[in-house]
Amino acid sequence: MAFAGLMTLAAAGAADAATATREPAGTLPDGTRVEAVTLTAKSGVSARILTYGATLQTLSGPDRDGRQADVLLGYDDAADYAAHPNFFGVTVGRYANRIAGGRFTLDGKAYQLPLNDKVNSLHGGTQGFDKRPWRIVSVKDGAVTLALTSADGDQGYPGKLDVTVTYAMGDDGALTITFGATTDRPTVVNMTNHAIFNLSGEGSPMGATGHRLTIPAQAITPVDANLIPTGALRPVQGTVFDFRNGRVVADGLRDGRDPQIVMGHGYDHNFALDKGLTATPGLAARLEDPVSGRVLEVSSTEPGVQFYTGNFLDGTFIGKSRHVYRMGDGIALEPQKFPNAPNQSAFASARVDPGKPYRHVMIYKLSVAK
């Protein structure tokens, strides 16, 4: 349903609480109307969410000198997310990351998914959740909830899935994203947000490879030539994947002595978080920009985080303010179940059954180093 004008909502009686503003955001090439909801915290952090793809279009906050900047790669116009898809800030599902050969077996039955990543199925297939119009369920108290229904057999997945995503802005500028799903048949679900960050500000000419990254993980899931985990856990100690004590991304990004960097064309790997699968969000990654002083903390209930350095950005994607995006211009930190988990029994299961809803809670906390 289109929204004719602006509506601003805040928690009753809380003058310093986060607010939510809803407004029209244009039209897609097929005529679908898009809405946007902007969540703003007293701290100065704000986020803009589009109904198309349940997309986090912007995340803005001040630097150490109080200068505001949007730290997300993406597009200015909602229509460009449909015309030139590249997963910028979108909600990914049914299954984030790769499933080998687009095949998995559940309760003895084999399922075939679309192959949209050479020989794999990636981020839910050719028409994943990122390419759907979502509907707004509610806008209140600094939060917006969006919903989507995915039919039984959608992209080859079994079961009718009713999905919700809630973006909630805290007074301190922490953006909590809660994914939920219920099914009428056993299926697999793995949802995340695919924001790509440059804490110096989107379009900053130096890119994001000078950022310092910390990931509390003693191991990665190494991949084969098709970027599918082998099933093993490889210790990070002594390798360019050791981010436990923090390191500058550029230090290992092009180190071809490590075959995993060669196969990933840089970093495009899942880290097995030390905390594992948790009931409440725990730290998945911390990203620091020495130039602006901005800090991003990513927390999640999921056991893994995919670290991706924009390796497939090749200058053909023209983003916000007509910026040309290239490898290293942004960094994605995607909390999730492990890639190809439906085909790896040793990985945490992505199975969801009737009466046992799926839930993933993740947090982006944007702040300034003191």
CB 342 within 8 A of CB 98: no
pLDDT tens for 10-43 read 443 355 689 999 999 999 989 999 999 999 999 9
CA distance linking residue 30 with residue 79, whole number of Å = 10
pLDDT tens for 61-84 read 999 999 999 999 999 999 999 999
Domain boundaries, the chain: 7-368
Task: Assign a CATH topology to domain 7-368.
Answer: Beta-galactosidase; Chain A, domain 5 (2.70.98)
CB 286 within 8 A of CB 295: yes
Give the residue carrying structure tokens 């900047």.
Answer: 69
Q: What is the mean pLDDT of residues 344-359?
A: 98
pLDDT tens for 251-307 read 999 999 999 999 999 999 999 999 999 999 999 999 999 999 999 999 999 999 999
Question: For the purposes of burial, counting CB atoms within 10 Å of the CB of 343, is it exposed (0-12), middle (13-18) or buried (19 or more)?
Answer: middle
CB 249 within 8 A of CB 209: yes
CA distance linking residue 265 with residue 310, whole number of Å = 9
DSSP string spanning 142-189?
A: TEEEEEEEE-TTGGG--S-EEEEEEEEE-TTSEEEEEEEEEESS-EE-
pLDDT tens for 145-194 read 999 999 999 999 999 999 999 999 999 999 999 999 999 999 999 999 99
CB 129 within 8 A of CB 94: yes
Q: What is the mean pLDDT of residues 94-118?
A: 98
Local confidence band at 2 (pLDDT 50, 70, 90 cut-offs): very low
pLDDT more than 90, % of the chain = 94
Compute the C-alpha angle 126/120/360, nearest 5°. Answer: 70
Q: Which two tokens stand for residue 42?
A: 């007293």
Residue 8 confidence (pLDDT) above 80? no
* pLDDT at residue 370, as a whole number: 80
Q: Give residue 42's identity as a one-letter amino acid code.
A: K
Cα separation values, 196 from 56, 83, 184, 201, 285, Å:
10, 19, 33, 11, 14
Please state, rounded to an integer, the average pLDDT across all residues of the chain: 95
Residue 91 confidence (pLDDT) above 80? yes
Q: Which two tokens stand for residue 87?
A: 């997963």
pTM across the whole model: 0.95
The residues assigned a catalytic role are 194, 334
Q: Give residue 172's identity as a one-letter amino acid code.
A: D
Compute the C-alpha angle 176/294/90, nearest 5°. Answer: 40
Q: What is the mean pLDDT of residues 332-355?
A: 98
pLDDT tens for 208-246 read 999 999 999 999 999 999 999 999 999 999 999 999 999
**Of 364, 293, 359, the residue nearest 332 (C-alpha):** 364
CB 313 within 8 A of CB 330: yes
Cis bond upstream, residue 94 (ω within 30): yes
**Of 344, 353, 337, the residue nearest 301 (C-alpha):** 337
Which residue intervals of 238-348 are DSSP H helices? 250-253, 259-264
